[in-house]
Amino acid sequence: MSKVRITKVKSAIDRNERTKNTLQALGLNKMNDSKEVELNGPISGMINKVKHLLKVESI
């Protein structure tokens, strides 16, 4: 599996509760928070749901 770095670049204010929960499940709480995660099926799906709020870089 490949690793990716995900960074939250936009706010979750005025987003629905499901979007906020997805960001929290990814471990991204504050602006410009970054996480390095293994890219697998569930993580890929969560990233795809909130991709408009994230910056994704492969490592």
Which amino acid, 38? E
Does pTM surpass 0.85? yes
Ramachandran angles phi, psi of 37, nearest 5°: -130, 155
Task: Please state which CATH number belongs to domain 3-58.
Answer: 3.30.1390.20
Give me the average pLDDT of each 10-residue run along the chain (59 residues): 95 96 96 95 96 96
For the chain, which residues make up each domain, given as ranges?
3-58
Q: How many angstroms separate the CA atoms of 20 and 59, rounded?
A: 25
How many Cα atoms within 13 Å fall on the side-chain side of residue 5?
8
**How confident is the model at residue 1, as a pLDDT?**
77
